[in-house]
Chain A
Amino acid sequence: AQTVTQSQPEMSVQEAETVTLSCTYDTSESDYYLFWYKQPPSRQMILVIRQEAYKQQNATENRFSVNFQKAAKSFSLKISDSQLGDAAMYFCAYRSGRVTDKLIFGTGTRLQVFP
């Protein structure tokens, strides 16, 4: 079975600085997708960024980028120029390449942003 591990329960960063959130996963599949979701205090789950395993290039979305190390099964999220609105829970998630499309989530990292 696939598992997703986020070993940092909490992280903090100063406004305008850069922070990296870690995620590792375990799978025997070669076709899969990885995601980072943001959950602010409103509880709404918001997709931040996604990575297809077959793509070697790391995904980027504005201030958010990933470091995808397929051999090491590592998928970290880098947030540049942190803003107060980035404060939230961040969840790493895995989806098999099979059609059923189920997401497996990590336990989350709470990010605090200080002015």
Chain B
Amino acid sequence: NAGVTQTPKFRVLKTGQSMTLLCAQDMNHEYMYWYRQDPGMGLRLIHYSVGEGTTAKGEVPDGYNVSRLKKQNFLLGLESAAPSQTSVYFCASSRFGLAGISYEQYFGPGTRLTVT
């Protein structure tokens, strides 16, 4: 199993450009998440999905869009990149957690994005 993979690993964008980050998991997990990690701020949730075709906003959703057309993929889009979106982006996935049961979130290796 590859677990959670992210494409690309590094990217440099100019202000105003658009791009899509791809997250793929091969563990048949229902839940998927996108986080961003900034120095001194830990990881913050951008968007998440509890199943194919569903998405929801997290803590810092502005400037991002997501789609979950297939259960194994979760895409994060930046329509018009800004320098404030320079960050490391992590994707994660987990099994469906019934109340009282918590399953581990498995993280991808991260994507370092620089917006100039």
Contact = CB atoms under 8 A, between A and B. Distances in A.
Q: Is the interface of A mostly helix, strand, loop or mixed?
A: loop
Interface size class, chain A? 20 to 34
Given A31-B99, A33-B102, A97-B100, A102 B58 contact: yes
Interface stretch (A60-68, A76-84, A103-111): A103-111
B104 A101 contact: no
Contacts, number: 61
B106 to A, nearest CB: 8
B2 interface: no
Contacts of A108: 42
A42 interface: yes
A56 to B, nearest CB: 16
Given A100-B50, A106-B42, A45 B31 contact: no
Interface in B62-111: 88, 90, 92, 94, 97-100, 102-105, 107, 109-110
B109 A105 contact: no
A105 to B, nearest CB: 4
A33 B104 CA distance: 11
Contacts of A97: 99-100, 102
Contacts of A91: 42-43
Contacts of B90: 45
Contacts of B40: 9, 107
Interface of A: 4, 9, 31, 33, 42-45, 47, 50, 52, 91, 95, 97-108
